[in-house]
Structure 1
Amino acid sequence: MKTTLCWSAFDLLNRENQTKVKETIEEGNLIIFPTETVYGIGANGLNPEASKRIYQAKGRPSDNPLILHIGDRNDVYRYVRFVNLEAEKLMDAFWPGPLTMVFEKNESVPFETTGGLNTVAIRFPKNEIAQTLIRIAGVPIAAPSANLSGKPSSTLFEHVYDDFNGRVDIIIDGGPSEIGLESTVIDMTSDIPTILRPGFVTKKMIEMVLKHPVLDASDTKPTGKVKSPGMKYTHYKPKGDVLLIRGPIEAMVNYVHEQLKRHQGHTVAIICETEYKHLFTVPVRALGSKENPLEMAHNLFSALRDMDKDQVEYIYIHYLNKDELGYALMNRLEKAAGYQIMDL
């Protein structure tokens, strides 16, 4: 078992620690770091063995591509064959920030990083700690979300510590993630740009920049290889049985009340908007106000992880409004429920 160094963001200002970061990345080892979306588990994205170690540490299938994080916008041209005008427009509008774009890779990026694909997903994160880390490393950092494969993504230091203490070399504590959802992923290699994973940057926001409609394949059940993380395998699921309930909140309250009779002696909990918390007689984890999807996004993965912390056996989640950011929230919750949805 490794000895994991746990640092604050302030520790990165120390020259000796910066040397340690550079050595860790050069040796192909792993560092967990914050971004504005979620925490990432990173290594040298140009080193095939380093990318393999990410998959091993997460227990992640090796055909699930990693995202290459760069520290400067212009670095994208070093790792891809072509950047079209539409990609340039999206870079102008959303980089640095929570948008990942898929390009055709060049020979510098190993297939171990791209899940065996000829395409590579690239993001320029906004978080200053992430940017500092990448600059110190001197190479692009391949980094999926820092969670054991299948578990909810990590938005707090305690999440990554619980999952990876002893598995990685360094964990950097950057406090709570600003956004709390992974980046939007859009494929720029198709004739029409195609969203592969929804996130903070919405379809409407992208279309406003490009001045034309884009496609959305994020709800498509893929077969074979996929170009984006989060499309193919089980994600975000707590250990308990999860059911999404779609319909009036009053109907959900009645349904849960009936289910409590069946689940006597078992632990039951609710995830819903703050406005409805008072309606239930069992423990409720409120995501935030239904008027504030940013608040709900910020709390989503912590709420799912709390279900495991509290050893909840039956979890009922109120189906959220799918407008704008709510679409990305429901993308995660539907996966967390294994697409088990009850219409009332």
Structure 2
Amino acid sequence: MARNIRHVPKDTSRRRVWVYVGVAAFILFDILLILWAINSTRASASGSAPRPIPTFRASPATPAAAPTTAAAPTATPTPTAGAASAGIVAVPATRILSAVNATTAWRATTGACPATDASPELTTDSSATWASTDATGPTKVTAVQSLSATSATTLTFIGLTTAGCTPNVVKTFVSGDNYKAYPEQAATSWYVNPVNRAVVHAPAGEHRAPCDAVVALAPRADSAAAVLCADGRLFTTTDAAVTWSAPATLPGAIALAPATTGYLVVSAGRPECAGAQLLTVTDALVPTVAGCYTTSTPATAMAGTVAVSEAAGTIWIWAGEQVVRSTDSGATFK
């Protein structure tokens, strides 16, 4: 009987070894992958932050303004540009004043042409009395626009003719006992024609005003002057109105006049002055509060009814029913 032969696979143990090695290699490779992933995550967390994605704008953004701290109030308030007094609007003056010295001055009231006669008044006793004169009769000029006095006997003014209401120059050399018109001199004079307050006439000719409505003009020389506009802005020129300075706004400004060191401005409605506040303004439009003339006239009624003038170290103010003077730069009035 034949014997069964048992078949034994060759190299079985060797194959098992290679299987074990393969499995171990796979496990080791998997462990290495896990460790690499963990280390990569840690490096990303501990390293520099990722750069933001860039964005683009049509124009650069404007940085926000840094907060400012309000300055402490001073003993003498000084007006600042851009401020305004509630209810105070500058209008053309109905009162005009021109001082000569501490005792002598000329004044006039004005209004519509040709209805308002030109009747300048003269004082030689510090405004205790006033003598009225008649300029319309001999010259046919009405509605005084400006006064320029050099003495008790000599006065020059700009008025409007009864025929056509055109600007004209009128003078007296005899204290107003007689007047004569000099129409040819209007071409070389400073004035603002009421029919067009957007134009300033200078000695060299007409030029566009720095605003639409000039309510006061203060010439200091043939080339230098200041104007007050209805919107409260103040401008100066040093080239006979060809160009104008940047504006400054003085709170409640209602009257303007030339001065030795610049200009005089009267403001109304200021909380620190129950009446007419006097300011001195440099050619560079830097204002300084000079004083206050107290009056019972409501601030809203003062526009157009206050006049100011300076001569020989004396400042005159016409406000309400009074004409007062200061010989100490506006500190006191009498």
Superposition TM-score tier, normalisation by shorter sequence? under 0.3
Greater helix content = 1
Greater strand content = 2
Structure number with bigger Rg: 2
Give me the TM-score of the superposition, normalised by structure 2.
0.25
Higher relative contact order (CA 8 A, sep 6+): 1
